[in-house]
Structure 1
């Protein structure tokens, strides 16, 4: 994405309005054709509605840990994928959660485009 987006965990996701573009790092708990279930950095769960397969866009979630940039859905805990990045097989989710908390505690240092 070409603009700053807030990093969120499951709890922080609930604070945003429908349609807000956010970033969430998590562990893939399940992966189906149309959606994935992530354990977010705070231990909560986020449902990711995956991009539909098209000639140009397709979800590429293949690692255990991923970052998803997406729009918050009308239901809390749901994000519609716009982009995603595989992050490998080992991530310190506790540290990732601290990053989320710090970005919200210091918005002047970590701009979110709001």
Structure 2
């Protein structure tokens, strides 16, 4: 394994729930709204409205409504968290989703992530 396998600052692309299956076993960033916290897991709403399950780090305390989960996609709708960035109590998920879709547009994606 390379050192970037566990480095939350390593290059990772932002995704929504619809894009996650294309990134199995890859590190991603998922801007989202926290819907439910339960023990070592969370259910979040991605920017496109889809629900994603997150396996939290031990002793992780998510305190904000909106967060960005940095982690590894282990199933099409599940992420293993490596880090979490609090984004505050208010976030325009439609704007976030529009930005994610632009990032993945073939006109731009190859120039940014290849």
Q: Determine if the TM-score, normalized by the shorter chain, exceeds 0.5.
A: yes
Cα distance, 1:60 vs structure 2: 3.2
In structure 1, list runs of 5 or more residues that go unmatched. 54-58
Structure 2 match to 1:7: 14
Alignment of 1:4-83 (within 5 A): 4-17=11-24, 19-53=25-59, 59-73=60-74, 75-83=75-83
Q: Which consecutive aligned stretches of 4+ in structure 1 deviate over 6 angstroms post-superposition? A: none
Q: CA RMSD in A?
A: 1.3
Deviations 1:40-73 (A, max 9, x none): 00000110100123xxxxx231100000000011
Is the contact made by 1:42 and 1:97 (CA closer than 8 Å) also made in structure 2? yes
Structure 1 match to 2:5: none
Cα distance, 1:109 vs structure 2: 4.5
SS in 2 for 1:14: helix
Deviations 1:58-100 (A, max 9, x none): x231100000000011x21100000001111100000000111
Is the contact made by 1:61 and 1:85 (CA closer than 8 Å) also made in structure 2? no
For normalisation by structure 1, the TM-score amounts to: 0.86
Structure 1 match to 2:85: 85
Q: Distance in 1 between matches of 2:73 and 2:44?
A: 14
